[in-house]
Chains A and B, each alone.
Chain A
Amino acid sequence: MLNPSLLVPPDVANVEVRVAPVGIALFGSITTKEPDRSLGVFFRKVHEAALAESLTELAVDVRGLSFVNSSAIRLFIDWAIWVSQPGRPTYRLRFVRNPSVTWQRVSFPAIAQLAAAHVVIEDGK
């Protein structure tokens, strides 16, 4: 289980990150110029915490993210690559999406193709 008190999300305009023992949930929109410097660093910490805790699965709930730019999509691509490194310990990365939101419906199947054995897409309500 993740320890939310050890994973303090960065302060990024228009986006809220909530940490739970089973993963994270994102709300708002991500349109900053270099989200890799803030959210990307935080996602990496969550990834490392999941490995340290030997989690078998981690949820990233994006249903509350109404809009993102391509630099933000890139963060999810990076995460899919982190969990699919051959020969390293890993876990299943479960993206929970709302398929009625266009960017979520279209982009997550493409992300899952990059790491089919380690990434799961769940359609939430």
Chain B
Amino acid sequence: MAEQREPTPPERPLVLMRFRPVWTYIDGVREFCRFFCQTTFKTSDLAERASVVIQETLENAVKYSTQGDDAELELRIQNHGEQIEFSVSSLPDPRHLSTLREELSSIASQTPEEAYVAAFLRAATEPDASSRLGLARIRHEGRAELSLEEEPGGRIRITATGTLC
């Protein structure tokens, strides 16, 4: 008889939080994640990088979220070997999705440092350039790569993947 393998259980995140897209929650969530990374991985460098990643991903999610009953944000922190993933799922206003795709694509076409300097130049010349500055910070200051997944029901998930050290 063939041996039946147990299905692999879905990987459980280290942190899983769900909350309404409200700006005033961001400080508390960021500080918890900073504490969590400092305490779990014993590295203040990761804790600082996590702060930038969490602040900027949550700010984007809150700014562009719809405000209906299903407008919940979900934050996950997962660890795979030497890698750490911070991901935020949200239900954005559909009008912002194409802009976000463009921003991510533009940023990904440059090195983190080039994209960072370009975002500063853009911020100096264009009044509404803060979104790209936040994403550029995640890559350069947070040393994390960004990806975007579209989920059922119009939700999106932005994932920032970096190393533990």
Q: Which residues of A contact B (CB under 8 A)?
A: 14, 29, 31, 33, 67, 69-71, 73-74, 77-78, 80-81, 102-103, 106-107, 110-111, 113-114
B23 within 8 A of A: yes
Contact yes or no, B141 A77, CB < 8 A = no
Contacting residues, chain B, for A29 (C-beta < 8 A): 27
In the complex with contacts A113-B117, A114-B121, A70-B137 CB distance below 8 A:
yes
Query: Count of A-B contacts with CB under 8 A?
Result: 54
Contact yes or no, B124 A114, CB < 8 A = yes
Residue interface bits B21-57, CB-to-A below 8 A is 1, else 0:
0010011001000000000000001001101100110
For B48, B56, B120, B137, the residue with the greatest tally of chain A CB atoms inside 10 Å of its CB is B120
In the complex with contacts A80-B124, A102-B141, A114-B121, A73-B133 CB distance below 8 A:
yes
What is the interface of chain A mostly: helix, strand, loop, or mixed? helix
Within the assembled complex, what's the spacing in Å between the Cα atoms of A80 and B27? 27
Contact yes or no, B140 A113, CB < 8 A = no
In the complex with contacts A111-B120, A114-B120, A102-B23 CB distance below 8 A:
no
Q: Which residues of B contact A (CB under 8 A)?
A: 23, 26-27, 30, 45, 48-49, 51-52, 55-56, 59, 116-117, 120-121, 123-124, 130, 133-134, 137, 140-141
Contacting residues, chain B, for A73 (C-beta < 8 A): 123, 133, 137
Contact yes or no, A110 B117, CB < 8 A = yes
Contacting residues, chain B, for A113 (C-beta < 8 A): 117, 120
Within the assembled complex, what's the spacing in Å between the Cα atoms of A78 and B123? 8
Contact yes or no, B55 A69, CB < 8 A = yes
Point out the residue from B30, B124, B130, B140 that lies within 8 Å of A71, measured CB to CB: B130
Within the assembled complex, what's the spacing in Å between the Cα atoms of A69 and B142? 13
Contacting residues, chain A, for B130 (C-beta < 8 A): 70-71, 74
